[in-house]
């Protein structure tokens, strides 16, 4: 095989890599799965963190959330849910979120200062590219700050 032909084949292979990496690949059983880190949340007397999850797919997805305390352990303090969640996504097995729906997880006020991060894993039977929007509303001293992961675009 000539050098020119090798160069063309190598170039075509390299150009196709980004497109191949962007495709959805179904795992076994027949579901897709993605994960993202949840940035800093703060909980103390009078302060609350609310993490909003919006499913932008047509079909349902399952979300499993792990909140991680500042010492690296799993946060087991009080939380509550609202919106489209009927069970807490921190429970084993997570929570279902219908297509187009928004649910939220609140880390409710404690009397002690607590902070941490987290991780969310979501699964569905359809491709999960651009499937979930996440925002954190942090209320401190009657002021609310909003942080949208990925600039407010679906992950």
pLDDT tens, 32-87?
899 999 998 888 777 788 999 999 999 999 999 999 999 999 998 889 999 999 99
At 150 the three-state DSSP class reads helix
Q: For residue 97, what pLDDT is reported?
A: 97
Per domain, the residue ranges of the chain are 30-152
Q: What's the rounded mean pLDDT across residues 142-153?
A: 79
Question: Which backbone phi and psi does 84 adopt, to 5 degrees?
Answer: -85, -5
Write the DSSP symbol of residue 149: G
CATH annotation of 30-152: 2.60.40
CA distances from 144 to 3, 48, 100, 123, 140 (A): 62, 9, 25, 30, 6
Q: Is 101 exposed, middle or buried (0-12, 13-18, 19+ CB in 10 A)?
A: middle
């Amino acid at each position: 095989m000539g050098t020119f032909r090798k160069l063309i084949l190598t170039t075509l292979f390299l150009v196709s890599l980004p497109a191949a990496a962007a495709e959805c690949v179904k795992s076994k059983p027949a579901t897709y799965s993605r994960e993202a880190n949840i940035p800093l949340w703060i909980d103390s007397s009078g302060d609350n963190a609310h993490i909003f999850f919006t499913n932008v797919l047509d079909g349902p997805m399952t979300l499993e959330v792990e909140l991680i305390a500042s010492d690296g352990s799993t946060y087991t303090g009080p939380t509550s849910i609202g919106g489209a969640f009927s069970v807490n996504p921190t429970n084993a097995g997570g929570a279902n979120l219908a297509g187009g729906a928004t649910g939220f997880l609140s880390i409710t006020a404690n009397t002690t200062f607590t902070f941490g991060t987290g991780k969310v894993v979501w699964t569905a039977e359809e491709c999960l590219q651009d499937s979930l929007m996440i925002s954190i509303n942090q209320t401190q001293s009657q002021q609310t700050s909003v942080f949208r992961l990925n600039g407010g675009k679906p992950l």
